[in-house]
Amino acid sequence: MAVQLKPLMPMDLIEKIKNNNFSYTSSYVKKITETDTDIKKLQDKEDSFRQKLKALKRYSPGGTSKELAGKRLEDFLKSYNELKSSSDSITDKEIKKQISKLENLFSEHEKDLKKIGITKEKGKYTLNTKTFANAKDTTINELFIGHDSFIGKADKIIRKLEETTDGAEHNVVEHKMSKTTKYKDTDVALAANITLAGSTISALQKNNTLVQSNLTSDPTVQESVKTFLTYFAKSIYNTDNTDHVETIGKLNQLCLDHKDELSKIGLTFDSENKKMNFDDTIALTTNEFKDNYNKLFGENAAFSKTAAEHCKNIINDLLQPEKIGVSIIDQQI
């Protein structure tokens, strides 16, 4: 079964990590197949009982001495007592049903069993060897020989019991588990910055219609576009402590590859290409601004589409959400 991931917004996940001392603790249920030790012990007693029962089935009138038959019967009763005692801790209904059948079998044949010296004392069956030695052969034969005899019926029940315990020996048990994943504070800060970059890309794409319609002459619209471009400059291009994140390098290179178009909408780099800045004095209503804005953030623009994809990948690389049982909601990035 697939693990159910917990959906979270990127910044919600980041806040949880920051508030938990730069770590995230995830809880999950792990299903483990375990051996039921009580049933395993019962199976050991089953094997012993089966062997003692098998020995009694070899009884033949005139071919098996009473002395040998008595010894085998004592072993059989001792084995049954151990089997019954071992079953006391079993909770499986089907197993207990078969054990009850064995117990009822003794009760059904109580009179005949008593004739050959088998009685129940303090919950356990015992054999009076003197009574057995003097018991009639016909009574012993009726109990030992044939499919419908006491021994024949016991054989059928033990076979069914073995089938039942084989199916119940292993159980799938659910264990509640937890795992804590630690993060570097610099990685969490970078993830927050990239999340801002992804959100800003989305906002700049939505504003393209306003830019192309010359609505940026409106002070309120103009301030909004410039604010998003400022956020974009601060968040999209990161060069400090990012060498360990390959996807950051791809995003940075994407920005450098579009250096010319970016400069025409006020986004420029310093002399060492370490930082991106936004010139908020740039005019937003010129054709040059509008054309290049459209190339970068217009519908299906390759730059913004690729940049947004890089942002998603960076978030996944830094926070590894699936590893901690989380799915990122693709809304902010």
- Three-state secondary structure call for residue 309: helix
Specify the pLDDT at position 4: 64
141 and 254 housed in the same domain: no
User: Given 147, 171, 195, which residue is the final one in a domain?
Assistant: 171
Domain that holds residue 54: 37-171
In terms of Cβ atoms closer than 10 Å to its own Cβ (0-12, 13-18, 19+), residue 127 is buried
176 within a domain of the structure (yes/no): no
Residue 17 identity (one-letter amino acid): I
Distance between CA atoms of residues 28 and 324, nearest Å: 10
Interacting residues of 134 by C-beta distance below 8 A, sequence separation 6+ = none
Q: How many domains does the chain have?
A: 2
For the whole model, what pTM was predicted?
0.60
pLDDT of 102 higher than 80: yes
- Tokens 């109990």 found at: 143
Specify the pLDDT at position 27: 84
135 and 194 housed in the same domain: no
In terms of Cβ atoms closer than 10 Å to its own Cβ (0-12, 13-18, 19+), residue 225 is buried
Per-residue model confidence as pLDDT tens digits over 2-58: 446 778 899 999 999 999 999 999 887 788 777 788 999 999 999 999 999 999 999
User: Given 171, 203, 232, which residue is the final one in a domain?
Assistant: 171
Per-residue model confidence as pLDDT tens digits over 299-310: 999 999 999 999
Share of the chain above pLDDT 90, in %: 80
Contact in structure between 89 and 38 (CB atoms under 8 Å): yes
